[in-house]
Amino acid sequence: MRGVLGSPAGVAAVAPEFLVTPGLLAAISPSVHRGGMVLGCGPQNEPLSVSVLRPLPTRLVVVGGLYLAGQVALRAMATGAWVVIATGRPEGWRQLVRAAGEGPDGRPAPLVQVRRLAPVELPRASQDAPLLVVHDGGAVPRELFPPRCAWQTTLYVLPYLHPQAESTAVDADLVLLQRLPADQAQLAAAMWRLTAPMATQLAALTDDGVVALGPNLWLPLRLVTAPAEREILGPVRRD
C-alpha cells in the first residue's frame, strides 16, 4: 500500500500537527494517530487508520456515496488541510462549508472551497498546509486535478464503477469501496482480479461497511462516526 493504510501505532506517513478551531475539532471524536486519520474499525473493533495526507502525491478513489467522501474530507479539515471540492452538485457539499465556519469578516472560512468542474489554480500544498482536492465529477472523471506534488491528495468520488474509469480506479493508491450491486461487484472483481467470495462480500456490505482495496490489500472495515459528525453529514448511509 506504499504507506497509505497503517495501524495507529505505525510510524510511516506521519501526519503533521495543526491548530484548528475548537468547533471543528469537536466534530471529530476518533483521534488522529501517527499512522493517519482513523476511518473505521476492524473485526475486533480495533481502530484502522488511513494516511490521506502524505509527503508525496496521492490518489484516492471512493466508489459509493457522498457520505463516505464527506467524512474523509471532514477529517482532513480537522487536521488543518485545505479542501477544494470540484463538483457538479454543490448543494451536496454545503454542509462542509458550514462546518468550516466563518472568518473575522463574516464570510465563509477559506479552508473549504466548492468549485465548478473546471481547471482552476489550486492553493500551494506543503507540509504546513496540505491540500485535499475532491473531484466529484461522475463515474468517468476527467483528469482536471491530478496529484502533482507532495502533500497534495486527489480524491475521486465515483458513484458507481464504469469500465472507462478503470485507469482512475486501478491506478489509485487506495480505493474505498462501499456496497455494490451484483453486476458492479463482478466488474470490480474483473478490474482488481478479486475472488468470487470477495465479489460476494462487496455486494453484501452494510451501509456502514467499507472495503479498503489496494496492491496486496483487501481490508473490510466498519465506519466509525462521531455524534457531531452525524449532525454535519447526517446518518451513515450508502447514497
Question: Per-residue confidence at 11, pLDDT binned at 50, 70, 90?
Answer: very low
- 220: cell is 473490510
**Looking at residue 195, what is its pLDDT?**
96
- Does domain 5-233 fall into CATH 3.60.20.10? no
Instruction: Give 104 or 15, the one with higher predicted confidence.
Output: 104
pTM score of the predicted model: 0.83
pLDDT, one tens digit per residue, over 41-58 is: 988 889 988 888 999 999
Q: What pLDDT digit, counting tens, does each position of 92-132 carry?
A: 999 998 888 877 777 777 789 999 999 888 989 999 899 99
Supply the pLDDT for residue 217: 86
Most confident of 36-40, 75-79, 165-169: 165-169
Q: Per the structure block, which three cell numbers stand in for 17? A: 500537527
Looking at residue 2, its pLDDT comes to: 35
What's the mean pLDDT in 145-151? Answer: 90
Looking at residue 215, what is its pLDDT?
Answer: 79
Q: Is the predicted pLDDT of residue 34 greater than 90, yes or no?
A: no
* Per-domain residue ranges of the chain: 5-233
The pLDDT confidence band at residue 26, using thresholds 50, 70 and 90, is very low
Alpha helices (H) along the chain: 22-25, 66-78, 94-100, 166-170, 182-192, 196-203, 227-233
With 0-12 / 13-18 / 19 or more C-beta atoms within 10 angstroms meaning exposed / middle / buried, residue 221 is buried
Would you state the pLDDT for residue 178? Answer: 97
Strands (E), the chain: 5-6, 32-33, 36-41, 47-50, 58-63, 82-87, 112-115, 131-136, 152-158, 174-177, 209-214, 217-223
